Structure 1
Amino acid sequence: MKPEILDCTLRDGGLVNRFFFSDELVRDLYQTNLEAGVDYMEFGYKASEKQFNRKDFGKWKFCREEDIRQVVGDNSSKMKISVMADVGRTEPSSILARKDSVIDMIRIATYSSTIPEALELLEDCHEKGYETSVNIMAVSSDTEAVIHEFLGKLCDSPADVIYLVDSFGAFYPEQIRNLSALYLGYAEKKGKRLGVHAHNNQQLAFANTIEAIRCGAGFADATCDGMGRGAGNCSMEMLVGYLKDKQLQELPILEFIEKHLIPMKEAGVRWGYELPYLLTGQGRVHPSRAIQFIQEGCKDIAGMFAQIAAGQ
């Protein structure tokens, strides 16, 4: 069965340009997703305005209700709207009751070490009437025992979707297959669905996404042209082309990329596979190291390889 497709171009892509997207681009992306048959569009983060200065970021870092409604109105369409709430960086009071919002789903991002805080935020969003997912980041750094522990807790929670997230782009398809089976073993018993969010450090985001789908993932994240922090994400155009579902259309996505994202790259905004991201993916370390390496114009790839291999 076709999974629910979630476009997170604004949210993950916003990590590339500090969420400074033009209003025209956002409106065009909304229309593109409608025409393409995407199921969910994620507008960005619900970040705390006490922690982050609005002068330093575009509006989709904060996803105020009025800003979303300027694009979608009442969203009289089948496509649903989501935002991400980052544990420790979101004020629950900024999330309205579902009946007062155009947002349908709150996706809670957490590390395994902050699961208790994630559960509190999850309960709040559930009680307010939202669909919910929990996206557990950096699981490539967790032991199997830790994964079993948090899956047990999350599958006893009100979460609708439990996400397998390859934050560092470290996994190979066989690992995705094994982890999907593990996640589903917990989730299906409690009526939860599995989602997948892959990063492209080793040019495996697309392969890992379709592997999870083949294993039973009911939600799949993607971005136009793979736009996302560092090496980026699974490309929406590749995923839609692979699924070959009559409800999905690839052409609107290609037209959006041609109009907006190719000029953005030509203007110097940078994302996508590069050797430093390969090394952080292979080393299972945060891509921020590779981002800094690239931004500083470093050229010593072999030196970076030796440092990561030595655990430095």
Structure 2
Amino acid sequence: MNKQKINIVDMTLRDGSHAVSHSFSPEQVEKVAGGLDKVGVSIIEVSHGDGIAGSSVNYGFSKYPEMDLIKSANKVVKNAKLGVLLIPGIGTIQDLEEAHRNGASVVRVATHVTEADVGIQHIEHAKKIGMTAVGFLMMSHMGSPEKILEQAKIFESAGADYINLADSAGYLTPDGVKERVSILKENLSLPVGFHSHNNLGLAVANSIAAVESGATYIDATCRGLGAGAGNTQNEVLCAVLNRMGYDTGVDFYGLMDVAEEIVEPIMQRPQVINTPSLMLGYAGVYSSFLLHTYKAAERFNLNPRDILVELGKRKMVGGQEDMIIDVAYSLSQQNK
């Protein structure tokens, strides 16, 4: 191993929550987090799929209080850092403080790719209370490399420890990833991370493109569990990085065992690229919209593909899940 260290950020218990309708139990969280901690991932993220305080009518209710889930993870996480996601407008500084009291030491403050300014106070407060703070730019395909750099500098000035780009729709190709990561590496003093969805089957390839462009934090989930067609599959990612000579610090065999023996039995369905998931990537729609779109399509007797295309045309972003019903209703009226 003679290449840079790549930090694996495992989000099975956060983005993976979308794929199980936010039903992780404290016991399941303890098993998954304990297994991930033992195999050497760098950060283990635990919260509602839409971040702390996401449990709601708009985003789906959690079966168990997420602070109980964070406490359960904190019992067994001894080596990794325990993290949470916070989307300003959903989670508050008070929610962040509660997560910190319950053991979270990392917060990733997630905003739309053009709206980093709404996360400044959250980054600053996280640093004030001693947390690692990450500026997380969602739907990065909707921002030019220059716009992304502008927004990343806002997070950098607020005190962020690293910048994470999120291909929330699974829309980017490797060239698009390289353009966006490279401009940050060339112009920031901070490390860069990358988050991918597999809606076009490119999650691992895009993650490798990010690494080759200088990213040192890569998001992944066991079995690829996540919104839409899922995220970068952690076991596959680590296999490829190992083959390429990168140091992940992860016990590869142990990670495969966690995925197969602990995570897979929890999954409600195989994580595959079906037609609606493919349409998310094709239309550039936020991946957590998928299950909401299914429900709206059934309610209004519509083809979910039509809803997803219309959402893409309207450039809907994370946090606008309530608009899916409006779009579906509008389409149903047009069909009369």
- Cross-structure match for 2:201: 203
Q: CA deviation at 1:291?
A: 4.0
Greater mean alpha carbon deviation, residues 15-24 or residues 234-243: 15-24
**Aligned Cα RMSD in Å?**
3.3
- Cross-structure match for 2:74: 72
Assess, with a 3 A threshold, how the Cα gap between structure 1 residues 259 and 136 changes in structure 2: closer, same or farther: same
Tell me the distance in 2 between the aligned counterparts of 1:293 and 1:159.
34
Counterpart check, 1:253 vs 2:228: no
Assess, with a 3 A threshold, how the Cα gap between structure 1 residues 71 and 203 changes in structure 2: closer, same or farther: same
Tell me the distance in 2 between the aligned counterparts of 1:269 and 1:74.
27
Are the equivalent residues in 1 in contact too, given 2:107–2:133 (CA < 8 A)? yes
Are the equivalent residues in 1 in contact too, given 2:285–2:311 (CA < 8 A)? no
Assess, with a 3 A threshold, how the Cα gap between structure 1 residues 215 and 258 changes in structure 2: closer, same or farther: same
Are the equivalent residues in 2 in contact too, given 1:226–1:235 (CA < 8 A)? yes
Q: CA deviation at 1:59?
A: 3.5
- Cross-structure match for 1:237: 235
Task: Identify the match of residue 24 of structure 2 among 21, 32, 38.
Answer: 21
Assess, with a 3 A threshold, how the Cα gap between structure 1 residues 70 and 290 changes in structure 2: closer, same or farther: closer
Are the equivalent residues in 2 in contact too, given 1:230–1:287 (CA < 8 A)? yes
- Cross-structure match for 1:274: 274
Tell me the distance in 1 between the aligned counterparts of 2:110 and 2:102.
20
Counterpart check, 1:124 vs 2:122: no
- Cross-structure match for 1:103: 104
Tell me the distance in 1 between the aligned counterparts of 2:72 and 2:308.
50
Are the equivalent residues in 2 in contact too, given 1:112–1:137 (CA < 8 A)? yes
Query: After superposition, what is the alpha-carbon deviation per residue over 1:134-190, rounded to whole angstroms, capped at 9, x for unaligned?
Result: 1110121224453232123222220001011101111111111111111212323xx
- Cross-structure match for 1:174: 175
Are the equivalent residues in 2 in contact too, given 1:8–1:221 (CA < 8 A)? yes
- Cross-structure match for 2:160: 159
Task: Identify the match of residue 36 of structure 2 among 33, 37, 52.
Answer: 33
Task: Tell me the TM-score normalized by structure 2.
Answer: 0.78
Tell me the distance in 2 between the aligned counterparts of 1:167 and 1:184.
20
The alignment partner of 2:46 has SS state of strand
Q: Give, as a single letter, the amino acid of the residue that structure 2 aligns with 1:68.
A: I
Are the equivalent residues in 2 in contact too, given 1:5–1:38 (CA < 8 A)? yes
Tell me the distance in 1 between the aligned counterparts of 2:272 and 2:107.
27
Q: CA deviation at 1:85?
A: 1.0
Task: Tell me the TM-score normalized by structure 1.
Answer: 0.84
Assess, with a 3 A threshold, how the Cα gap between structure 1 residues 262 and 177 changes in structure 2: closer, same or farther: same
Q: CA deviation at 1:286?
A: 3.0
Are the equivalent residues in 2 in contact too, given 1:280–1:308 (CA < 8 A)? no
- Cross-structure match for 1:85: 86
Q: CA deviation at 1:67?
A: 4.4
Query: After superposition, what is the alpha-carbon deviation per residue over 1:178-206, rounded to whole angstroms, capped at 9, x for unaligned?
Result: 11111212323xxx110110000100000
Tell me the distance in 1 between the aligned counterparts of 2:230 and 2:222.
10
Query: After superposition, what is the alpha-carbon deviation per residue over 1:235-286, rounded to whole angstroms, capped at 9, x for unaligned?
Result: 0101121222483222333323333443344xx4464312222233122233
Are the equivalent residues in 2 in contact too, given 1:162–1:193 (CA < 8 A)? yes
The alignment partner of 1:253 has SS state of helix
Q: CA deviation at 1:103?
A: 1.7
Counterpart check, 1:8 vs 2:11: yes
**Where do 5+ consecutive residues of structure 2 fail to align?**
315-336
Tell me the distance in 2 between the aligned counterparts of 1:147 and 1:166.
12
The alignment partner of 1:217 has SS state of coil
Are the equivalent residues in 1 in contact too, given 2:167–2:196 (CA < 8 A)? yes
Q: CA deviation at 1:228?
A: 0.2
Q: Give, as a single letter, the amino acid of the residue that structure 1 aligns with 2:53.
A: S
**Where do 5+ consecutive residues of structure 1 fail to align?**
none
Q: Give, as a single letter, the amino acid of the residue that structure 2 aligns with 1:27.
A: E
Identity %: 23
Are the equivalent residues in 1 in contact too, given 2:113–2:142 (CA < 8 A)? no
Aligned residue pairs total 302
The alignment partner of 2:148 has SS state of helix
